[in-house]
Chains A and B, each alone.
Chain A
Amino acid sequence: MTAPSLALTDKTRPRRASRPLDERLLFGACVLVPVVALVLFFLLPLATIVWRSVTEESGGIGVANYLALFRTPGILRAVGNSLLVGTATTAVCLVLGFAVAYAAQRTRVPGKRFVAAALSLPLLAPSLVLGLGLIFLLGRNGLVSNLLGVRLNIYGFPGLLIANVLYALPQAVLIIQAALRQSDARYYDAAEVMGATRLQQFLGITLPNVKFGLLSAGFVVFTVTITDFGNAVTIGGDFSVLATEIYNQVTGQMKFGIGAAVGILLLLPTGIAVYIERVAAQRQFGTASESALPPVPDRLPMRDIPLFLVTMTLALSIAAVVATVVFASVVRLWPYRLDFTTKHYAITLSGGYDPLWTSLGVSAATAGIGTVLLFALVLGLRRMPPGLAKAVYLLAVLPVGVPGLVLGLSYIFAFNLAGTPLHMLYGTALLLALCNFYHYHTQGFLTMVTGMRAVPAALEEAAGCLGGGVLRVLGDVVVPVMVPTLLSVFFFLFMRSMVTLSAIIFLVSPSTNLAAVTVMRLDEAGFVSQAAAFSTCIMAAVAAAALAMRGALALAGRRKAA
């Protein structure tokens, strides 16, 4: 283009009100930093694990690692076992989860608050706490064996099944309950007038409408189960499953190629689950309209009495298992000598309570870094061209499809490479924090997006027109509205980070040991009471965080109302 024509176009070009430079820089950085971090700490590790899974021992490229899977007897058995326990857990969780969700959403069965509270317990503790509690109750030296004088054998499939069900059930209930909530009383009124019986209404309307909810709950449970590490280690016994086997292959026998191949295979079920979730979100027939009338819960003894018994039994079981762990931690010798003692709280494993402090530090870092990055990302996304924003959005929701186990493995491959700049991070608490953050990135991101939707764009513009600079607008308009969301995201990341085991199990080192790992080590070493004591400390910390969140949210709400 020649100079004169340029000058001409300059004059005639419609003037778009362009944002001031500092503003553009700020919002550019808002997006750039989180996206670069996503690439470095999520995409890159994932690419590395794919790469490693097709890198053969000889150094060439090929599918040898995948073929080797079939020739490793341990792996084959573990796959079979994992599928078995995964399928069984899924089936049980769907039936029980539907019962609990239905009771909560569509009936007036008493005790709903208690059931909800009991069901939230497993979310406050590392998964292996349930295994631990089950062993205390039903194990060889457990309460029931002791009372009945028989020696129950809970280790292996039955114990793992129960522990997994208790662990995964709350997540299934949440999903199914959300699906049940999407309905309208008028469907049932119409069916009633058309002559349908209760049973026909249930089969013809209720069930088909939660189809996608059930499907997505099923995949979530299945994935959680086959990639969970804690329960398999504590209560699995000789029943080897994929998660433990992969851990042995990688950390015990240093067979990284096979580990990578299994990791890739584990992406399949979650991939499908995430895909179904997306499809379901779009096809969830007749998406909730504003004017929907929720069905009124009613009473029906024939249905409610069995439902009450089932939900109460479940809630009491979960509460009992968790309570047993706490109780066993303060008695001399469970279940034989029940006199009170605090001696188990003197941890004999080297390091003592250091891992708990490390965990708290790592979790605080996860929550802090995570909240800031997510806030920046969501803030920047609002001002991006739609096409680009969509791509970034997709990238940001991708991590939910990657199980912790696979993420942890991929971090080894990406960061345990001597000679690369990223190697510096390996073995540091910072890397643990980042790993935890990206493990739970999607949930935090979606919460943040929802929160940001509540910030009225008009308000922002109004503040801008009044002459407020970017930071002014942020501080006066955006942040105040976002406070509850920021708090929720912060505490969500903190609490998850305190209890997760599956990803960081591959990354901990003696100097950066974490609390959940310590419980596992104590249990492995036979110090079960100390494991219980340590678990109790974790639960106390997480419960305190949960309370702090409630308090902070209430405070934020009060301030807004004032």
Chain B
Amino acid sequence: MDLQIKNLLKTFDGFVALDRITLNVEEREFVCLLGPSGCGKTTLLRIIAGLMPYDAGELLMGGRDLGTVPARDRGFGIVFQSYSLFPNMTVAQNIGYGLKIRKAPRDRIAARVGELLDLIKLPKVADRYPWQLSGGQQQRVALARALAVDPSLILLDEPLSALDARVRADLRTEIRDVQRRLGIPTIMVTHDQEEALTLADKVVCMNHGLIEQVGTPQDLYLRPRTRFVADFMGSSNLLPTAWVRETMPHLMPGRPDGAENAFEACVRPERVAVTPAPDADGRVIDLTFLGNIRRLRLSWRGRELLAETNRDPGVEPGAAVDVSVAADACAWVRA
């Protein structure tokens, strides 16, 4: 089943938290809500879950209006950032809780719990209490609990953000695998752009209660439409039109029509090619070694540019370099 959100409006005492959001989540799709703190991601998720009322708009699941359906009848699964396992229940009881509520027979619950524990690769923790698990294990159990009732939609609110980097990466792939295997449409909130890029079929980039752009990870990275998206998804060189016209006229044909200040060129640092040349007009300001890549700050024709390369550029700070950007390396974004 698919989820359709149409013109969803939510205000808190006059403060607009969600400004007429429109969004579709297709069957089997993994959607990431991405945006800075306070942009309304959690609010949107809670409204979809039915935990919060909304002011106007429509919420349709498989064509059915969810507006009047209380959270407990929506049949969704939800995982929070942390600390949401019932502390008074064992792992098995936690996972089986939803089925127990639905009055499933006891042996069916036990079988399902076993199955899910295998799925999350924690077959031996059934009788432990949440406080006896590590943070990563707790989040797996929370995922299993959400999956137990065969939800028609899974909602994840920053499920990985309380974990350390290593566990986060592992769990990320696991969530992705499970979701692929079961094909349940999933919405995940995150403010980690790397997480969104690796997991999502579709990334929804939000800012101040508005959707800035929706698209595949490639779309958002390679073809950002606004300055905010370009900036939020990794680093970029944002260049004013006048300067581009003067220094890199070959990028101009791609520019949409509009006022001089309406658009800027976005060039990702890895698309800035740097070649040492003794009499070139670019200068290396400094050079940072980041393991797999090297980052260079350049001064070129009155601007500072960022370039990245995964090979040793063979230059020192102060060296003269030639700078070039391919015609297809530029995306024009609304300023």
Contacts and interface: CB of A to CB of B under 8 A. Distances in A.
B82 A195 contact: no
Given A286-B130, A291-B83, A194 B101 contact: yes
B98 interface: yes
Interface string A289-329: 10110000000000000000000000000000000000000
Interface residues of B, number: 32
Contacts of A205: 86, 88
Contacts of A190: 78, 80, 84, 86, 142, 145
A286 B90 CA distance: 12
Interface stretch (B66-74, B195-203, B263-271): B66-74
A204 interface: yes
B319 to A, nearest CB: 48
Given A285-B131, A286-B130, A194 B98 contact: yes
Contact of A192 (B72, B77, B131): B72
A200 interface: yes
B91 interface: no
A464 B78 CA distance: 53
Contacts of B49: 189, 193
Interface string A196-215: 11001000110011010000
A184 B84 CA distance: 8
Interface string A273-298: 00000000000011101011000000
B226 to A, nearest CB: 32
B86 A191 contact: yes
Contact of A193 (B50, B83, B85, B89): B50
A184 B83 contact: yes
Nearest to B75: A195
A204 B94 CA distance: 11
Interface core residue of B49, B72, B98, B129 (most chain A CB under 10 Å)? B72
Contact of B83 (A194, A204, A209, A289): A289
B145 A194 contact: yes
Contacts of A184: 83-84
B253 to A, nearest CB: 51
Given A195-B72, A204-B97, A292-B83, A189 B88 contact: no
A186 interface: yes
Contacts of B155: 193
B73 A285 contact: no
Interface in B163-197: none
Contacts of A285: 87-88, 129-131
Nearest to B93: A204
A475 to B, nearest CB: 42
A187 interface: yes
Nearest to B82: A291
Nearest to B77: A193
Contacts of A289: 83
B285 to A, nearest CB: 40
A189 B72 contact: no
Contacts of B73: 195
B88 A194 contact: no
Contact of B78 (A189, A291, A292): A189
B102 interface: yes
A184 B131 CA distance: 14
Contacts, number: 80
Interface in B109-130: 129-130
A509 to B, nearest CB: 53
Interface string B43-86: 00010011100000000000000000001111111101011111
Contact of A189 (B75, B80, B145): B80
Interface string B196-231: 000000000000000000000000000000000000
Interface core residue of B46, B49, B101 (most chain A CB under 10 Å)? B101
Interface core residue of B50, B74, B76, B80 (most chain A CB under 10 Å)? B80
B149 interface: yes
B149 A194 contact: yes
B251 to A, nearest CB: 47
Contacts of B51: 189, 192-193
A195 B129 contact: no
B104 to A, nearest CB: 11
Contacts of B98: 194-195
Interface core residue of A191, A211, A289 (most chain B CB under 10 Å)? A191
A186 B88 contact: no
B76 A193 contact: yes
Nearest to B72: A195
Nearest to A289: B83
Contacts of B72: 192-197
A49 B84 CA distance: 50
B149 A204 contact: no
A191 B77 CA distance: 10
Contacts of A196: 72, 97, 101
Given A186-B83, A205-B86, A193 B101 contact: no
A516 to B, nearest CB: 42
Contacts of B89: 204, 208
Contacts of B50: 192-193
A289 B131 CA distance: 11
A287 B82 CA distance: 14
A197 B98 CA distance: 11
A186 B80 contact: yes
A285 B86 CA distance: 9
Contacts of B46: 189
A456 B207 CA distance: 41
B216 to A, nearest CB: 28
A196 B100 CA distance: 9
Contacts of B131: 285-287
Nearest to A194: B98
B88 A211 contact: yes
Contacts of A191: 86, 97
B71 A193 contact: yes
A195 B83 contact: no
Contacts of A186: 80, 83-84
B154 to A, nearest CB: 10
Nearest to B129: A285
A255 to B, nearest CB: 48
Nearest to B97: A194
A289 B80 CA distance: 15
A187 B86 contact: yes
Contacts of B102: 195
Contact of A286 (B71, B78, B83, B149): B83
Nearest to A198: B72
Nearest to B76: A193
A325 B153 CA distance: 63
Given A186-B80, A195-B73, A195-B75, A286 B101 contact: no
Nearest to A211: B88
Closest 8 CB pairs of A and B: A285-B87, A286-B87, A208-B88, A186-B84, A194-B98, A193-B78, A195-B72, A192-B71
Given A184-B84, A192-B50, A194-B72, 8 more contacts: A187-B84, A187-B87, A193-B74, A193-B76, A195-B73, A196-B72, A200-B101, A204-B97
Interface of A: 184, 186-187, 189-197, 200, 204-205, 208-209, 211, 285-287, 289, 291-292
14 contacts: A190-B142, A192-B51, A193-B50, A193-B51, A193-B155, A194-B98, A195-B101, A196-B97, A204-B89, A205-B86, A209-B87, A285-B87, A285-B130, A286-B85
